[in-house]
């Protein structure tokens, strides 16, 4: 019902509206998981995954129609510049959706307690940001230690680790969107929840510090997620073209070239985001 109120075409005309859609979907997902699964002895252990799963379920219809619309644009538009400009409208809409996810997840992280619905996200945060002291990190934020080995990590090691990890996420995004156009939203919603956990930790569980926490992670988070969205569109429009049996037509090769160009752009953006995260953000905060 809700996806019929705001269609992909409307979202591209007013991308900022997707910010409120993201807040609504993420909040609804967290409150449902909290209400239904928080008292379950087994499922409560996987609440972090369930929150992401419900968010994905709410977004899937919209993402499918957005991808279908972008593949149609690849057929109608001519010229790389004009085509990328058209895709940028969808990317801005997705960015606002993603920021809405982060704001909602961060708010509920603080309000409901860090270890309630973000156990997996906290472990991911600690493995990336505090690999030298992983056990102490997860225990500090209310999660039982997973017993992960630790070791000395330099800035260069951290840069390579973050960039390689982000490239893996990029590959998964392309594969998911290629197999099932809307499927990549799972990767994107998961990353939003991890960033939200980091924001909550940085904010020291105080809503008053939330704007500063979001600002800290948005400096490198925005280009990073733009890269994932670019890859998401690349895989999605290519997958949609294949399902429409356009592989033997000239326009399919135009779509393929456009997809490859989008992937290259995404990798370059990820490289820039990793540099910002390791060498710029720590200086500013």
Residues of the chain with pLDDT under 70: 1-13, 67-87, 114-116, 131, 141-153, 181-183, 205, 240, 244-250
Closest to 101 (Cα-Cα) out of 202, 8, 184, 18: 18
Q: How many domains does the chain have?
A: 1
pLDDT at 124: 83
pLDDT at 80: 46
132 vs 145: CA distance, rounded Å = 14
3 belongs to a structural domain: no
Tens digits of residue pLDDT in 229-245: 888 878 877 776 777 65
Q: Which domain holds residue 39?
A: 10-284
pLDDT at 12: 57
pLDDT at 149: 47
30 belongs to a structural domain: yes
Tens digits of residue pLDDT in 92-110: 888 888 899 999 999 998 8
> Phi/psi class of residue 245: alpha, beta or left (left: φ > 0; alpha: ψ in -120 to 50)?
left
Chain centre distance of CA 187: 6
188 belongs to a structural domain: yes
2 belongs to a structural domain: no
pLDDT at 104: 93
pLDDT at 77: 53
219 belongs to a structural domain: yes
> Phi/psi class of residue 68: alpha, beta or left (left: φ > 0; alpha: ψ in -120 to 50)?
alpha
117 vs 197: CA distance, rounded Å = 10
Closest to 101 (Cα-Cα) out of 19, 171, 3: 19
Task: Tell me if 143 sits within 8 A of 122, measured CB to CB.
Answer: yes
Task: Tell me if 108 sits within 8 A of 27, measured CB to CB.
Answer: yes
14 belongs to a structural domain: yes
80 belongs to a structural domain: yes
Residues 6+ away with beta carbon under 8 Å from 245:
none
pLDDT at 244: 66
């Amino acid at each position: 019902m809700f996806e019929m109120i705001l269609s992909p075409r409307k979202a591209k005309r007013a991308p900022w509206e997707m910010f409120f859609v993201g807040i609504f979907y993420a909040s609804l997902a967290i409150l449902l998981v909290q209400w239904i699964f928080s008292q379950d002895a087994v499922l409560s252990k996987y609440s972090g995954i369930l929150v992401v799963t419900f968010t994905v379920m709410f977004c899937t219809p919209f993402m499918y129609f957005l991808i279908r619309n972008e593949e149609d644009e690849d057929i109608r538009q001519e010229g790389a510049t004009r085509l990328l400009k058209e895709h940028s409208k969808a990317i801005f809409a997705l960015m606002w959706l993603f920021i809405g996810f982060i704001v909602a997840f961060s708010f509920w992280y603080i309000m409901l307690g860090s270890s309630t619905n973000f156990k997996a996200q906290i472990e991911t945060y600690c493995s990336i940001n505090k690999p030298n002291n992983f056990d102490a990190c997860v225990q500090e934020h209310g999660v039982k230690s997973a017993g992960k080995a630790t070791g000395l990590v330099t800035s260069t090691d951290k840069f390579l680790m973050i960039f390689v990890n982000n490239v893996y996420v990029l590959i998964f995004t392309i594969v998911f969107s290629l197999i099932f156009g809307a499927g990549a939203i799972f990767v994107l919603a998961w990353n939003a929840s991890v960033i939200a956990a980091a924001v909550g930790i940085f904010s020291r569980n105080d809503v008053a510090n939330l704007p500063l926490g979001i600002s800290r992670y948005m400096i490198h988070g925005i280009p990073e997620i733009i890269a994932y969205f670019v890859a998401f569109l690349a895989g999605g429009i290519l997958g949609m073209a294949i399902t429409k049996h356009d592989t033997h037509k000239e326009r399919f090769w135009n779509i393929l070239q456009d997809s490859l160009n989008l992937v290259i752009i995404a990798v370059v953006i990820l490289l820039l985001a990793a540099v910002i995260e390791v060498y710029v953000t720590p200086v500013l905060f």
